[in-house]
Amino acid sequence: MEGAMTAVAVLLALTVRWAVSLYPYSGARKPPMYGDYEAQRHWQEVTLNLPTHQWYFNSTGNDLLYWGLDYPPLTAYHSLLCGYIARAINPDWVTLTSSRGYESPQHKLFMRATVLVADLIIYIPAVILYCSYLKETTKRKMMSLLCILLYPGLILVDYGHFQYNSVSLGLALWGVIALSRGWDALGSLAFCFALNYKQMELYHSLPFFCYLLGKSFRKGIIGWGFLYLLKIGATVVGTFALCWMPFLTDGEQIFQVLRRLFPVGRGLFEDKVANVWCSLSVLFKIKTVLSAENQLHISFACTLLGLLPTCLKLTMNPTLRGFKLSMVNCALSFFLFSFQVHEKSILLVSLPVCFLLGELPLMSTWFLLTSTFSMLPLLLKDGLLVAYIITTLAFLLVTAACLSFHEKTSEDALKLKGFCVSIRRCVSWFTVPGSLLRLLLFLSLSTMAVLTVGSCALTPPPALPDLFPVLISSVSCAHFLMFFLYFNIVHLWDRTNEQSKQKIS
């Protein structure tokens, strides 16, 4: 029975994914740069036709100003593999230089299929296995599986806009699963692969590090804990060496790859992104008042301060529940405060929030809806309005039916009882009124609906051409700050003392 229900959930998720893939993609028929679809195709062209030592360098065959490769080696190897398959089908798709901007129905089918295959190999099996380890009834496991697989943000970006986020997120999820089973070296290996696929996985790096460091402290840092750290360290170094092997023969190769991965010269932020710096710039032009160096220093300091409490708590009390909460808090701190954030980076927060859907259904569902809404300007640019509305409404209805998230407003359901008890020692009347929370949720969803309608139906005044993108990013940022406070409170007041070897709960 469980197998049949899993198959139905996966089939439904695949149907939604393929339906979204029928919509336009980033930069469709928009020369000269096109969009992320062309970037992924171009990387196949470059890696297939040029030797490894030229992949990250500017040359006549590799103009870095035209979608130069700026992801780690595993992405390049994935592009090379796809390039071999593309050339076998139609060499015109990946011919050096002359294939730039190539578009055809057949090529679109191929590119969409590469995303689906990656999803089927890496992300979807990880989600199935993760849900199978949940300490819930079979029905609750299947509900969680369906809700996670129908999260619209990831579907719209990978199958609509066009990217391979499911690869890096899936590898990170495999790392979480391995840690939950006590296979810490294997978990480190999986996460290193995720980090070597997309450098944005740095958002999750500190929770992995602090969790493993905390476990070594518990084992005794001078005795078995030291040997444990050596094993984890050897796994990390070995994995990085394996991924970077073609680039380790020349120091300039290493530095060039790093320069491509971390382009600090691009400024604090680019497009309208729902983080603190972009929202503050509406009132205070940070990018013009502060030097690039000061922007970098301030963003680094704020990010560090934002993630420090949750990392310290996780190191002192390395539980799996705390690990998941710390992944949310650290990723949110990076998204809200770090340097050069893209709107799609919110997916790195959404993954660990998906882990908490069964435990914190109200706030997790609310966050996932907000994260999808925060990318609306990007989705509108790509012609994905209808897909956005349908997938978002479907997710809202499924989570309401499966998780009854709108009813989980008590202090216990919100995991705020410990915090509220602490506050009531000073303010005896303090409470979290469920009716007020439901009202706030209704107002929040209504605001998102109004801004969605306004963005596609109203023309902004000429003096404020970016009115709706700014409103969307500011409203979303206010939500994310609220979620940042909430998830930190839940983690810092967490009193569970489960052992690391337990299954995911």
Domain definitions of the chain by residue range: 2-28+103-492
Report whether 181 contacts 132 (CB < 8 A): no
**Matching residue, tokens 């990387």:** 43
Q: Mean pLDDT throughout 443-461?
A: 95
Read off the tokens for 42. 């171009």
Report whether 262 contacts 56 (CB < 8 A): no
Nearest to 486 by CA among 430, 436, 438, 432: 432
Report whether 127 contacts 113 (CB < 8 A): no
Confidence of residue 497 (pLDDT cuts 50, 70, 90): low
Read off the tokens for 357. 């859907």
Concatenated DSSP letters of 23-63: S--TTTT-TTT--HHHHHHHHHHHHHHS-GGGTTS-BTTB-
Concatenated DSSP letters of 410-462: STTTTT-HHHHHHHHTT-TT----HHHHHHHHHHHHHHHHHHHHHHHH-PPPT
Concatenated DSSP letters of 339-395: SSB-GGGGHHHHHHHHHTTTTSHHHHHHHHHHHHHHTHHHHHHTT-HHHHHHHHHHH
Per-residue pLDDT tens for 363-388?
999 999 999 999 999 999 999 999 99
Per-residue pLDDT tens for 465-487?
999 999 999 999 999 999 999 99
Which pTM does this prediction carry? 0.95
Read off the tokens for 176. 């979480």
Report whether 137 contacts 147 (CB < 8 A): no
Per-residue pLDDT tens for 9-23?
999 999 999 999 999
Nearest to 173 by CA among 156, 157, 187, 158: 187
At 503 the pLDDT is: 42
| Contact partners, residue 242, CB within 8 Å, separation at least 6 | none
Q: Which ranges of 119-224 would DSSP assign to H, the alpha helix?
A: 124-132, 138-149, 152-155, 165-180, 184-195, 202-219
At 182 the pLDDT is: 93
Report whether 375 contacts 364 (CB < 8 A): no
Bridge partners, residue 62, by sequence: 59
Judged against a pLDDT cut of 80, whether residue 264 lies above it is answered with no
Q: What is the mean pLDDT of the chain?
A: 93
**Matching residue, tokens 């980090």:** 195
Give the C-alpha separation, 303 to 275, whole Å. 12
At 479 the pLDDT is: 97
DSSP run (H or E) holding 109: helix 105-118
Read off the tokens for 497. 């003392």
Give the C-alpha separation, 323 to 315, whole Å. 9
Per-residue pLDDT tens for 86-140?
999 999 999 999 999 999 999 999 999 999 999 999 999 999 999 999 888 888 8
Give the C-alpha separation, 208 to 215, whole Å. 11
Counting Cα atoms < 13 Å in the Cβ hemisphere of 505 gives 12
Q: Is 427 exposed, middle or buried (0-12, 13-18, 19+ CB in 10 A)?
A: exposed
Nearest to 142 by CA among 403, 367, 390, 502: 403
Bridge partners, residue 59, by sequence: 62
Q: Mean pLDDT throughout 211-225?
A: 89
Give the C-alpha separation, 409 to 406, whole Å. 7
Q: What are the angstrom distances between the C-alpha of 267 and each of 201, 300, 374, 402?
A: 20, 13, 21, 43
